[in-house]
Amino acid sequence: MRALRTRTLWIGLGAVLVLLGGLAVAMVQWRRPTAVPPRLGAADRAAPTDTSGDRAIDRARPGEGSDKSRWVDEIPELDVSDLDGGRLAIFLRHANSERCTCGCGYTLAACRVYDSTCEKSEPRVVALLDSVRRGDITDARGLREAPTPH
C-alpha cells in the first residue's frame, strides 16, 4: 500500500513539472518581441486613397508597413486649433509614434485616418491630446520626428 502511494506521488509530481514546463514555453512564445517598422520617407506620406469606410484592421496585410507607419499631420474629427506650434508638434510626434492597441498595426494617428470608428484609438488619442493640453506631456524626446519634404 505504501509503495502505491509513493508511486502515485511521483506520477503527480511529474505531471505538475510537465505542465509547468509547457506553460513556460507558451509564455516565451507569446511574449516574443515584434519587429520595429522602418523609418519612412516623404514618398510614403501621400494621403490614403481608400475611403470605403471599412475597418483598418480588415485592410491590414502583412508586410505593408508603409501605410501603417505613414506620418499623419491632421487627424480627422480632432480639433487641435488651440495648440501652439510646439504643443502641436509634441502631440503629433506622440500620435505618430504610438501604436494602436486594436490589432491593426497602425500608429494612433494612422488608425484614426484609416478607421474613424476604431473604439481603441479614439479614447487614446483624445487622452493624449488632453495630456498635451494640460501640460502633462511636455516633450517628445526619442520619438519619431515629422519627415522632411524632399
Q: Dihedrals φ, ψ of 55, to 5°?
A: -65, 140
**What are the boundaries of each domain within the chain?**
1-32, 42-134
Grid coordinates belonging to 150: 524632399
What would the pLDDT profile of 25-81 be if each residue is shown by its tens digit?
877 776 655 544 444 444 444 444 444 444 555 554 444 445 788 898 898 888 999
Q: Which residue has the higher pLDDT, 31 or 143?
A: 143
The per-residue DSSP string of 23-51 comes to HHHHHHHHTPPPPPPPPP-GGGGSPP---
Question: What's residue 24's pLDDT?
Answer: 81
Question: Is residue 138 a contact partner of residue 120, using CB atoms and an 8 Å limit?
Answer: no
Q: What global pTM score does this model have? A: 0.56
Question: What's residue 50's pLDDT?
Answer: 46
Whole-angstrom Cα distance, residue 137 to residue 90?
Answer: 8
What would the pLDDT profile of 96-117 be if each residue is shown by its tens digit?
999 999 988 899 999 999 888 9
Question: What's residue 89's pLDDT?
Answer: 92
Question: Is residue 71 a contact partner of residue 96, using CB atoms and an 8 Å limit?
Answer: yes
The helix-helix angle for 121-134 and 85-95 (nearest 10°) equals: 150
Instruction: Give the containing element (helix H, strand E) for 9.
Output: helix 2-30
The per-residue DSSP string of 81-139 comes to TTS-HHHHHHHHHHHTTSBPSSSS--BHHHHHHH-TT-TTHHHHHHHHHHHHHHTS---
Grid coordinates belonging to 124: 487614446
Residue 16 has pLDDT above 70, yes or no: yes
Q: Which residue has the higher pLDDT, 150 or 53?
A: 150
